């Protein structure tokens, strides 16, 4: 999302981006851009409303135009820093928002609601070579790839300032100050965010129930755990 022609928000999927975009929209000073951005947000909200239905269709060997359009839209909407920088260069102030990798996976799962258990879903997307099975290539890799990849330059260095969605109330003022954003929100209203969902608030229970996923997730997101200083959650008990 581009605000006032000088702020570029790198929207990482399932990391609280909708909340940030809703806040940024209130700072767009160009009326026509404001209307356009709201229309785009409205369209994307409709797509998200039917995410679970689309997931069911796409996971059942559907590989027509609808999937192509959906995947293309996701890749465009969630562009990485490298793509945005190639277009806008140094004229933009870039920033983003990240989320605990284990929580983010649960958020993706509860968002798509695939017809499979959580452990099967995680194993399916993180360990299978989906590129060998073009028909079932869903969800697109961009929806669950490492967050580090969104914020790096060609040297694999993180160059985009970011806040953590878990600390948004504490860090929002700091990022606004850094980017010269005028925002007086005392509390942050979360829009379209599964963070407010009870299932996701207790995301740890998914790993309590399926502890064999820990090493898989830890290895796949090792750079995210290191770069964003997130601690790996290890189960204390098993849910039956």
Give the domain ranges of the chain. 2-227
13 pLDDT higher than 60 = yes
The C-alpha atoms of residue 92 and residue 84 are separated, in whole angstroms, by 9
The C-alpha atoms of residue 239 and residue 207 are separated, in whole angstroms, by 9
Partners of 94 in beta bridges: 8
User: What share of the chain in percent tops pLDDT 90?
Assistant: 32
Quote the pLDDT of residue 185.
53
Q: pTM for the whole thing?
A: 0.82
Quote the pLDDT of residue 192.
44
**Residue 168 pLDDT level (bands cut at 50, 70, 90):** confident
Q: Work out the angle at residue 54's Cα, subtended by the Cα atoms of residues 45 and 199, and round it to the nearest 5 degrees.
A: 70
The C-alpha atoms of residue 116 and residue 237 are separated, in whole angstroms, by 22
Quote the pLDDT of residue 135.
44
Q: What is the pLDDT of residues 173-210, one digit of tens each?
A: 888 888 777 665 544 544 444 444 444 558 999 999 99
The C-alpha atoms of residue 19 and residue 29 are separated, in whole angstroms, by 19
């Amino acid at each position: 999302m581009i605000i006032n022609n000088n702020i570029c928000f790198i929207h990482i999927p399932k990391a609280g981006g909708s909340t940030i975009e809703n806040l940024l929209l209130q700072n767009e000073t160009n009326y026509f851009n404001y209307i356009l951005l709201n229309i785009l947000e409205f369209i994307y909200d409709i797509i998200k409303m039917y995410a679970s239905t689309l997931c069911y269709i796409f996971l059942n060997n559907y590989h027509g135009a609808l999937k192509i359009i959906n995947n293309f839209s996701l890749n465009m909407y969630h562009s990485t820093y490298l793509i945005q920088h190639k277009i806008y260069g140094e004229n933009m102030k870039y920033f983003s928002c990240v989320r605990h990798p284990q929580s983010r996976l649960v958020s993706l799962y509860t968002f798509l609601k695939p017809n499979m258990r959580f452990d099967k879903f995680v194993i399916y997307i993180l360990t299978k070579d989906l590129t060998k099975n073009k028909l079932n290539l869903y969800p697109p890799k961009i929806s669950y790839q490492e967050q580090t990849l969104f914020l790096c330059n060609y040297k694999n260095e993180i160059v985009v300032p970011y806040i953590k969605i878990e600390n948004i109330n504490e860090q929002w003022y700091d990022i606004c100050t850094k980017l010269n954003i005028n925002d007086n929100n005392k509390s942050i209203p979360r829009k379209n965010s599964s963070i407010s969902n009870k299932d996701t608030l207790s995301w740890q229970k998914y790993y309590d129930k399926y502890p064999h996923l820990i090493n898989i997730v830890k290895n796949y997101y090792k750079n995210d755990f290191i770069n964003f200083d997130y601690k790996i959650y290890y189960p204390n008990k098993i849910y039956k």
